[in-house]
Amino acid sequence: MLCTRVCPSGAIKRLPLEEKREIALGKARIDHNRCIPWVGYARLPELEKEWQDFNCGVCEEVCPVPTKAIHFNTYVDVQGREIRRPFVREDVCVGCGFCEKVCPVLGTSAIVVEGIQPQTKVKRPKEILNKNFLPETLGDWKRISGPNIYEGKDKLYEYIDGGAEPYLSYSFIRVSNAEYVKVGANGRSPLQNTDNAEYPKETGKKILIDIWEFGSPEDAFGVFSKDRACTDIKLGNGSALFNNYLYLWNDIYFIRIEPREGDVLAEDVIYAGKSIINIMPYKKVSLPSILSLLPQQHLAQNSPIFFHKKIILDNIYISDNYIEENVFHLSEKTDAVIAEYRPNTSSESFKLMLIRYPDNDTARLVFDDVLKLWRSWGEIESMSGAIHTFQGKAQRYTSCLMERNILGMTFLSINKGDAEMLLQSIAHNIK
């Protein structure tokens, strides 16, 4: 910058690019009396307008911070109307002013950047991840490789080419991994076989720890929900132990611990998981709001899977007919959940899917496309109120209902009444 070169007093310091990226010039502040979602939140009980009129996320969209310095919390009233209210993460905000520039509020922007003195450095998630979450030792475990960091789409392909798309369908930021071995007697690491008595027989155990970071706790839960199975050990915001594999959800992180070599026991991965969780700052988070619409009666425990895009649904069996096109119009703008229900222990389970769209018009378009597709298969159609039900060749039923901006569907039910009753319960929850 020319100013740094000509300033006679040295008041303007020339900084390297990397250091510039860490310096916070100011902090964004939201005026709740002018911000569209916050005004809507305050007036929601009395509003006659559609709730969509009060949702705005322009500031979050333009935020250049990799982890986003602007996040949302969600308010849902008794009528099921939802408003996503923005808030500023001051620990990562750099005060760039992009949000203030694009704010659509007439006059003074509803979000403004205020200068700070002295200027401070913001937290760098990559460094935090390296330094704290994958330390050199975790109790009896010693790190022997890594941390290796893969940030962004291109780097993720380098890590898991051919398996990256499911993770990219969520707000993927980075993944860091490291290998650990169980430490032997006298604090020595058992890297080779030996008859020396100071090495216990259990040595030679090796594990791999992945820590995945996403743009929101909801998306981290989504990745956890698609992989979780078996026993919940009550660790972090969510946990699942499958033999000697451990899956954890903690805030914006999804953690996977898996055995690599040796006789790795369940207690080994549990210990490593507890050590990682204890390093991370605790934050109580909520499940994605669309899960609150799921009826709890007959819901199979730990079955809900939260997702946004078709690639996740493609791996879930919902029909004997192949659904090639994106008939449900799934995208990063949709929130979806699919869960399993079993009306009684002797009956077969069936699936319920809910998709929330940005507006009613989009939901109506999707509903029409879904009906058109199922009719093209020649299945027997019947109606019960607003619910359309199709009977397939295998005597299984598919039912669908649109309520406001939410599409509800049941799949693979052997009992028509059970499926329709579940959708009626959904309609009641939305209203």
Task: Give the pLDDT score at 15.
Answer: 59
Task: Give the pLDDT score at 199.
Answer: 41
More confident residue, 417 or 46: 417
- The confidence band for 40, taking pLDDT boundaries of 50, 70 and 90, is confident
More confident residue, 407 or 154: 407
- Whether residue 295 is preceded by a cis peptide bond, meaning omega within 30 degrees of 0, is no
- The confidence band for 195, taking pLDDT boundaries of 50, 70 and 90, is very low
- The confidence band for 48, taking pLDDT boundaries of 50, 70 and 90, is low
For the record, the structure tokens of 185 come out as: 């007697």
More confident residue, 44 or 242: 242
Which CATH architecture describes the domain 289-430? 3-Layer(aba) Sandwich (3.40)
Size of the chain in residues: 431
Q: Is 278 helix (H, G, I), strand (E, B) or coil?
A: helix
The full set of domain ranges for the chain reads 13-121, 125-279, 289-430
More confident residue, 161 or 319: 319
Q: Residue 14: pLDDT above 70?
A: no
Which residues partner with 178 through β-bridges? 209
Which CATH architecture describes the domain 125-279? 3-Layer(aba) Sandwich (3.40)
Task: Give the pLDDT score at 429.
Answer: 75
> What's the CATH number for 13-121?
3.30.70.20
Distances (CA, A) of 72 to 46, 49, 196, 266, 340: 22, 22, 57, 37, 29
Q: Residue 118: pLDDT above 90?
A: no
Mean pLDDT, residues 180-191 taken together: 60
Q: What is the pTM of this model?
A: 0.67
More confident residue, 1 or 241: 241
More confident residue, 65 or 399: 399
In the chain, % of residues over pLDDT 90: 36
DSSP state for residue 231 in the 8-state scheme: B
Q: Residue 178: pLDDT above 80?
A: yes
Task: Give the pLDDT score at 198.
Answer: 45
Mean pLDDT, residues 211-233 taken together: 89
Which residues partner with 82 through β-bridges? 76
pLDDT tens-digit readout, 287-334:
899 999 999 888 988 899 999 999 999 888 998 888 888 999 999 889
Task: Give the pLDDT score at 430.
Answer: 79
- The confidence band for 160, taking pLDDT boundaries of 50, 70 and 90, is confident
Mean pLDDT, residues 201-227 taken together: 87
Contact criterion met (CB below 8 Å) for 65 and 92? yes
Ranges of beta strands (E only) in 133-226 are: 137-138, 141-151, 172-182, 206-214
Task: Give the pLDDT score at 117.
Answer: 57
Task: Give the pLDDT score at 278.
Answer: 86
- The confidence band for 46, taking pLDDT boundaries of 50, 70 and 90, is low
Task: Give the pLDDT score at 128.
Answer: 45
Task: Give the pLDDT score at 339.
Answer: 94
Q: Please give the helix or strand (H or E) that residue 244 lies within, else none.
A: none
CB atoms near residue 72 (< 10 Å): 16
For the record, the structure tokens of 367 come out as: 């509903």
- The confidence band for 122, taking pLDDT boundaries of 50, 70 and 90, is low
Task: Give the pLDDT score at 323.
Answer: 85
Mean pLDDT, residues 72-85 taken together: 71
Task: Give the pLDDT score at 55.
Answer: 79
The domains spanning 13-121 and 289-430 adopt the same CATH topology: no
Burial (0-12, 13-18, 19+ Cβ within 10 Å), 6: exposed
Mean pLDDT, residues 326-350 taken together: 87
Q: Residue 130: pLDDT above 70?
A: no
Task: Give the pLDDT score at 369.
Answer: 94
Mean pLDDT, residues 57-72 taken together: 84
Q: Residue 18: pLDDT above 60?
A: no
Q: Out of 168-172, 331-335, 336-340, 342-346, which region has the weakest mean confidence (pLDDT)?
A: 342-346
Mean pLDDT, residues 69-73 taken together: 81
Q: Out of 113-117, 122-126, 142-146, 278-282, which region has the weakest mean confidence (pLDDT)?
A: 122-126
Task: Give the pLDDT score at 209.
Answer: 95
For the record, the structure tokens of 257 come out as: 């611990």
More confident residue, 301 or 179: 179
Q: Residue 397: pLDDT above 90?
A: yes
- The confidence band for 146, taking pLDDT boundaries of 50, 70 and 90, is confident
More confident residue, 202 or 362: 362
